């Protein structure tokens, strides 16, 4: 079998044995019309209830003033780690990344098909109550978060903080303010900061400003692996404002301003791209000096893709392993081989070497910006952001023996008998 040349390959739909999500089967549903009285967070803004401390999703208090930069939302895992919320996470004591989201009563103004924060949801759910990457995001005063972390930043469980900008006219200015408040009190060498940017409204100057204010890594959530998929899931296809070319423009600015290994792209696997396409993109990013941060597609409840299948584990494991080899082991995509449907059939290194890398287990951990352990272990572990704990896609902890046995089965690479 040889490397395929084509960019997209039609595949059969409805075949139970299919071990990947083909393009034709992954069509988002169309967004419905939002009633006028709910557009732009109108019914929330019609209230005048002042926010009081922490807001837990589904408290149903319509607090129009609960917005950035005074307020941010943070992941359930970060809230548990900070001690703001009670709870436990399967297999992990804490998260190593303090993931923050800017927040506004009218929410994100984009409409990405796979996202729980998308604009079309204003028809049925207030922004502060929306699920995102499978979990709730409580809203908390930024000053309270800084007070807790600043008490002892050097021994904080967090190895990194990340500001997710979302798409909103105020998101640049508020990102600068949140970043400045943080770096005023917390040494960015003790807890480095990443920016998950919103390229659609950003300029080169904005990228530079995040660097000047102390950001360490700048990432772009490309999410879709091809221009066609991007348009279908985040652009014209769902009445959303994003453009593939603008995302690349800002990513290349970040490369220039932040430098090698300090920029990257988020990519969701299993939205209809082939394994060949996504791994070519990973190679392109490696060649530019950047990194790819991978997510396994999961049908987020309430999103325009919530009726579609999660990425089969076979497809996900093949891409996860191949991406790790490209990103951290110097293997090139040209060394790998693919079948006629774009699936990886050969990882381009000897079987014994591959077996050792699988055994190490790091390839199957959540990928993202690095923490303090080692370069290929992400601080951003996003516990169960792309799967339930019963069928883990990205491991937020070091996979154990039983996990590796399962992973090998999913990869269809049995243990070599010695």
Residues contributing to the site for ligand SF4 (CB under 6 A): 108, 110, 112, 115, 117-118, 166-167
Nearest CB to ligand SF4, comparing residues 110 and 281: 110
Angle, helices 244-258 vs 204-212, to 10°: value is 40
Rg (CA), the chain: 21
- Closest distance to ligand SF4 from the beta carbon of 64 (Å): 20
Distance CA 165, CA 196 (A): 6
- Residue 391: DSSP 8-state: G
User: Count of H helices and E strands in the chain?
Assistant: 11, 10
Shortest approach of ligand SF4 to residue 226 CB, angstroms? 17
Smallest gap from Cβ 111 to ligand SF4, in A, equals: 6
CB of 95 to ligand SF4, least distance (A): 19
Residue 21 or 103 with smaller CB distance to ligand SF4: 103
Residue 108 or 357: the one with the smaller Cβ distance to ligand SF4 is 108
Q: CB-wise, 102 or 285, nearer to ligand SF4?
A: 102
Residue 362 or 386: the one with the smaller Cβ distance to ligand SF4 is: 386
Which element (helix H / strand E) includes 291? strand 291-296
Residue closer to ligand SF4 by CB (options 144, 306) is 306
Nearest Cα to Cα of residue 227 among 218, 236, 239, 219: 236
CB of 237 to ligand SF4, least distance (A): 13
Rounded CA separation 262/282 (Å): 15
DSSP readout, 305-371? TTTSPPPPHHHHHHHHHHHHHHHHS---GGGSEE-TTS-EEE-SS-HHHHHHHHHH-GGGB--SSB-
Tokens in use for 121? 């949801």
* Residue 53 CB neighbour total at 10 angstroms: 9
Q: List Cα–Cα distances, 203 to 14, 69, 117, 249, 254, in angstroms.
A: 44, 20, 24, 9, 10
User: CB 366 → ligand SF4: shortest distance, Å?
Assistant: 18
The length of the chain in residues reads 418
Tokens matching residue 123: 């028809």
Shortest spacing between CB 206 and ligand SF4, in angstroms: 16
User: Is the CB of 110 or the CB of 217 nearer to ligand SF4?
Assistant: 110
Looking at the Cβ atoms of 82 and 108, the one nearer to ligand SF4 is 108
Nearest CB to ligand SF4, comparing residues 76 and 410: 76
Confirm if 250 and 277 have CB atoms less than 8 A apart: no
275 and 225 in contact (C-beta within 8 Å)?
A: no
Minimum CB–partner distance for residue 381 and ligand SF4 (Å): 20
Q: How far is the CB of 238 from ligand SF4 (least distance, A)?
A: 9
């Amino acid at each position: 079998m040889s490397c395929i040349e084509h960019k997209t390959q039609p595949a059969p739909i409805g075949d139970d044995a299919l071990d990947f999500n083909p393009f034709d089967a992954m069509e988002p549903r169309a967004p419905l019309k939002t009633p006028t009285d709910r557009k732009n967070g109108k019914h929330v803004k019609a209230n005048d209830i002042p926010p009081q401390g922490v807001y837990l999703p589904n408290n149903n208090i319509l607090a129009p003033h609960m917005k950035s930069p005074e307020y941010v939302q943070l992941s359930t895992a970060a809230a548990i780690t900070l001690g703001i919320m009670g709870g436990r996470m399967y297999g992990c004591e804490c998260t190593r990344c303090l993931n923050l989201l800017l927040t506004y009563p009218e929410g994100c103004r984009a409409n990405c098909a796979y996202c729980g924060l998308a604009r079309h949801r204003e028809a049925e759910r207030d922004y502060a109550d929306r699920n995102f990457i499978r979990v709730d995001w409580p809203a908390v005063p930024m000053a309270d978060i800084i007070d807790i972390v600043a008490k002892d930043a050097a021994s904080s469980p967090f190895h990194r903080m990340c500001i997710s900008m979302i798409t909103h006219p105020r998101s640049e200015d508020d990102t600068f303010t949140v970043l400045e408040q943080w770096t005023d009190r917390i040494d960015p060498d003790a807890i480095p900061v990443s920016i998950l940017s919103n390229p659609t409204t950003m300029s080169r100057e904005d990228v530079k400003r995040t660097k000047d204010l102390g950001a360490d890594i700048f990432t772009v959530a490309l999410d879709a692996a091809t221009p066609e998929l991007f348009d279908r899931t985040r652009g014209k296809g769902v009445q959303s404002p994003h453009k593939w070319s603008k995302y690349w423009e800002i990513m290349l600015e970040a490369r220039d301003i932040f430098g090698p290994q300090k920029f990257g792209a988020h990519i969701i696997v299993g939205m209809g791209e082939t394994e060949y396409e996504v791994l070519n993109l990973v190679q392109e990013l490696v060649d530019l000096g950047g990194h790819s941060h991978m997510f396994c597609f999961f049908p987020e409840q309430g999103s325009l893709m919530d009726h579609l299948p999660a990425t089969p584990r076979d497809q996900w494991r093949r891409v996860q392993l191949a991406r790790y080899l490209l990103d951290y082991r110097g293997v090139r995509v040209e060394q790998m081989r693919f079948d006629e449907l774009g699936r990886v059939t050969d990882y381009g290194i000897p079987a014994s070497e591959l077996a050792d890398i699988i055994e190490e287990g790091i390839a199957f951990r959540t990928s993202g910006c690095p923490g303090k352990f080692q370069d290929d272990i992400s601080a951003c572990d996003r516990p169960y952001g792309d799967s339930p704990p019963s069928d883990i896609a990205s491991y937020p902890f070091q996979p154990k023996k039983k996990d590796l046995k399962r992973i090998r089965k999913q990869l269809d690479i049995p243990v070599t008998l010695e």
